[in-house]
Amino acid sequence: QVQLVESGGGLVKPGGALRLTCGASGFTFSDYYMSWIRQAPGKGLEWISDIRSSGSFRKYADSVKGRFTISRDNPKNSLFLQMNSLRAEDTAVYYCARGDSLFDNWGQGTLVIVSS
């Protein structure tokens, strides 16, 4: 069965950086677009980025453009999110999800807290 497992979250100071990883299994990773979606505490869901199956095309929400970078390693079935210049408002649970406009499988999420 499809499994997505995020890691790399934690506590970071404003202006700091963090790299999230999502390990995928149970499907042909290189066939699918992948996305990162976040949920601030007690709030709704926000799509922040997606990447084409080949890795050749990436999109970002305005809220993270220029600060976050999505990437993937297809041979290692892994998805990444490099987060720089972190702000308090980036505090959220970060989910990786399969797909780009329909998210049919989600990981359990990893919590990122940006605080001094």
Q: Which of 18, 68, 95, 112 binds other proteins (CB under 8 A)?
A: 95
Contacts of 32 (CB under 8 A, 6+ apart): 53, 98, 99
Question: What gap in Å lies between CA 54 and CA 45, rounded to an integer?
Answer: 26
Q: Is 47 in the site for other proteins (CB under 8 A)?
A: yes
Closest among 49, 46, 21, 25 to 35, alpha carbons compared: 49
Residue 65's SS3 state is: coil
DSSP 8-state code for residue 32: S
| Listed ranges 15-23, 72-80, 84-92, 101-109: which one lies at the site for other proteins (CB under 8 A) | 101-109
CB of 15 to other proteins, least distance (A): 26
Q: Cβ 17 to other proteins, closest distance in Å?
A: 23
Q: Which stretch binds other proteins (CB under 8 A): 24-32, 44-52, 73-81, 82-90?
A: 44-52
Residue 18 vs 110, nearer CB to other proteins: 110
